[in-house]
Amino acid sequence: MKKITGAEAILRSLKEEGVDTIFGYPGGAIMPIYDKMHKEDCSIKHILVRHEQGAAHAAQAYAQVTGKPGICFATSGPGATNLLTGITNANLDSIPTVFITAQVPSHLLGSDAFQETDMVSLSMPVTKWNYQVTKAEEIPEAIAKAFHFATTGRPGPVLLDITKDAQLNTLDYRYKKIKSIRSYNPVPKLKEDDLNEAVKMIKESRKPMLLAGHGILLSHGEKELLAFMEKTHIPTAVTLLGKSAIPEDNPWYVGMLGMHGNYAPNILTNEADLIIAAGMRFDDRVTGDLKRYAVKAKIIHVDIDEAELNKNVQADLPVNADIREFFKAITPRLNYKAGGEWLDEFEKLYKTEYEKVIQPECYPENGKIRSGEAIKMLSDKTKGEAIVVTDVGQNQMFAARYYDFKNPNSLITSGGLGTMGFGLPAAMGAQVGAPDKTVVLFAGDGGFQMTFQELGTIFQYNLPVKMMVLNNNFLGMVRQWQDLFMDKRYAETNMPTPDFPKLAGAFGIESHVVTSRENLETAIEDMLNSEGPYLLEVKIEKEANVFPMIYPGSAVDEIVLE
């Protein structure tokens, strides 16, 4: 053992956990860590963001594309509180992230010292685990615990708040990874009785439907899910965060659930006699009116987090288990195939949606450019192989609907929190995590303006993110609700925007604006063929709405097409 400072212990411990990238922003209280990082020529890459919220979103996206926890540094006070939106976002979407914030010296705690903020209390409701470190010798074990909690069971964000004196003082350093913690049992054991009952319920069903959520991707259970679908032919829909778990050309994939999801899976949720909910939490955007949800179905709900079972929807068979292990165990036991006539019902409703919604959105013959056609064209040009990052709003729903995802974890979006401004910093984090992949951002003009300072980070590290800003000079989704439910009273949603190409140019980023359909294809090709970062502003139909839509308070089978 060798005596080292707490700051050095933090960096060494992160290396022990395989960390190669940190997103952060320095400041007074965290300066000892940054000094040690610089002085020791630390092998961990640091990405200097332009705002701490950007670091949080970038770390989340990095985690999603790499499968490793995202790491984020911030100083005390405002630096730390600027992380809270990103921490909440990671918590609601179950993303493994480790946030390390600095704190004032321990002897000043509770004195309202300069830039002192009680981050443990503030972050407690939105972290899986948090802890304040006040002594250097606590650092190795605290970091080991942080990684264990963040990455096991249902993953999520953790926060370590480390006082400045703990960073400066010395300790006898020894690191030991944690494999288990007493009373913490993150992976429940799959019960034989649950498997047998699930097999029985599936065999007795005539109109089964599988709802695949984010848990499929978090458990790395895509292959097991596809094997189950291949054997049973059960029509399978996905939640927004379940998108990309299934290649969209799979014959038993029937689309996306939810408020702006596909027509067939929403309508037929109330015709199904069995619903298998796999790693999803029955979010209100999926269920609509709970009293009129899945009215004819028995429900098997499988989730690794016992707190999600019977929380929103009462299950006939709640199964507390890892979803990957569930599919791995149940598929060999089944000798069952769903009837072709049940699948035909999905196909008929899809044709209706295609004629009334998809065709006019993706292949319009006149008028202004539509978001759907721009996204579908880019999807075709990239063959569904890009990593797609979205902001929040209409751009998010259009991207989820019209990009044809081929690979797992290729949609990075803010699901549970719906954070405007998420897109640009997340795209930057995704590109850092997947440097050899094409990363495409779809953003509205409103959300893009919330965090466009991160263009500076993209420029500094020459991250070749392809940014498509869909500009309608509106807060589009809010305006849609004002259109539908507030008699077109567009209160504070009409938004003048900057000259986006000039804005990109100020950061040394190549850009272009397209206003006519005739130039759209060439503009998209130019963007994709560019070597570095590129911003393409697409002037779209100003008052276009996203359909289908389940109106607030409606049942899923009351989804409207126009």
pLDDT in tens, 522-557: 999 999 999 999 999 999 999 999 999 999 999 999
Q: Is the separation of the CB atoms in 106 and 165 below 8 Å?
A: yes
Give the residue carrying structure tokens 């999801």: 261
Model pLDDT, residue 2: 80
Model pLDDT, residue 39: 77
Residues acting as catalytic residues: 52, 114-115, 164, 477
Model pLDDT, residue 38: 84
Tokens read off for 444: 């509205």
Query: Which residues of the chain are in CATH 3.40.50.970 domains?
Result: 3-172, 368-539
Q: Is the separation of the CB atoms in 462 and 533 below 8 Å?
A: yes
The distance of Cα 262 from the centroid of its chain, to the nearest Å, equals: 20
* pLDDT band at 41; cut points 50, 70, 90: low
SS3 per residue for 69-123: CEEEEECCCHHHHCCHHHHHHHHHCCCCEEEEEEECCHHHCCCCCCCCCCHHHHH
Q: Options 3.30.360.10, 3.40.50.1220, 1.10.287.3510, 3.40.50.620; which CATH number does 192-346 get?
A: 3.40.50.1220
Question: Higher pLDDT residue, 203 or 1?
Answer: 203
- Tell me the angle at which helices 371-382 and 394-402 cross, rounded to the nearest 10 degrees: 40
Average pLDDT (390-400) is 98
Query: In whole numbers, what is the pLDDT of the chain averaged over residues?
Result: 97
Model pLDDT, residue 42: 78
According to CATH, the topology of domain 368-539 is: Rossmann fold (3.40.50)
Length of the chain measured in residues: 562
Tens digits of residue pLDDT in 149-207 = 999 999 999 999 999 999 999 999 999 999 999 999 999 999 999 999 999 999 999 99
Q: What is the β-pairing status of strands 510-514 and 534-539?
A: parallel
Average pLDDT (456-467) is 98
Model pLDDT, residue 224: 98
Model pLDDT, residue 40: 64
- Of 51, 101, 56, 103, the closest CA to residue 74 belongs to 101
The CATH superfamily label for domain 3-172 reads Thiamin diphosphate (ThDP)-binding fold, Pyr/PP domains (3.40.50.970)
Asked if residue 1 has pLDDT above 90, the reply is no
Tens digits of residue pLDDT in 292-347 = 999 999 999 999 999 999 999 999 999 999 999 999 999 999 999 999 999 999 99
